[in-house]
Amino acid sequence: RLWDDLSCADLELPVALPPNIAVVLRRLSDDEADSLPQRVAEFYSEHPGGPYGIWSLWPLEGLPPDPLDLWHIPIMVRDAGGDAPVAPSDLEIVEATDASTVREAATLIDESFEAQSEPDMVLTPDVLGDDFRTWVGRVDGRAVTTSTAYISDGYVGLYAVATTLAARGREYGEA
C-alpha cells in the first residue's frame, strides 16, 4: 500500500526482513506521525506474512511501543558498480543454504541489532531462493558477520549487515 508519506509491503514471508517493511517516505507531520502506528498495524494485520519492520530516515519520536517494535538501524544507499572489497584473509564467507547456517545468521542479526527476538522470527530457511540470499562470515569457525541480499525490480538490496561487537572494525561486514 502506498500513501503519500508511507509505503507498506508484505510478500508473505514469515520474517521481518525485507520485504515485510513499512518505509516512511518523508518527514511526517504531527497528524501523520500520530496515525502511523494504526495505519501500519492495520495493513499488516490484513496480510498473511510474518512480522514487519519500519524504516525511517527521520526520527519517529513519541510512537507507542505497541503495536510497533521499532529498530533504529541505518539506511544507506550507494550507486551500482565498482570493485568488490577484498575479504580479510581470516574471514571465510559461506552462503546460508541450510537451517543451521540460517540460524547462525538470524542469531547474529538479532544480537547485533539488539532486537531481543527469537531467531526463528528474524530469518527462516523457507525465505531463501534465487532472489533472497544470506551469507555468514566466520573466523576460526565462529560466525562473526552476516548479510542478506534481496533482488526486486532490477535492484539488489543489501540488508541485515551485522557483525558481532567484538569483530567490528575489521572490514568483515564490508566483505
> Mind listing the pLDDT tens digit for each residue in 131-148?
899 999 999 999 999 999
Question: Taking a C-beta distance cutoff of 8 angstroms, is the pair 14, 50 a contact?
Answer: yes
Residue 51 neighbours by CB distance under 10 Å: 15
Using alpha carbons, list the distances in angstroms from residue 151 to 60, 132, 157, 166. Answer: 28, 7, 6, 30
Residue pLDDT, tens place only, 78-117? 677 788 788 999 999 999 999 999 999 999 988 887 766 7
43, amino acid identity: F
Would you say residue 118 has pLDDT above 80?
A: no
pLDDT value at position 15? 63
C-alpha cell read off for 143: 560466525
DSSP state of 144: E
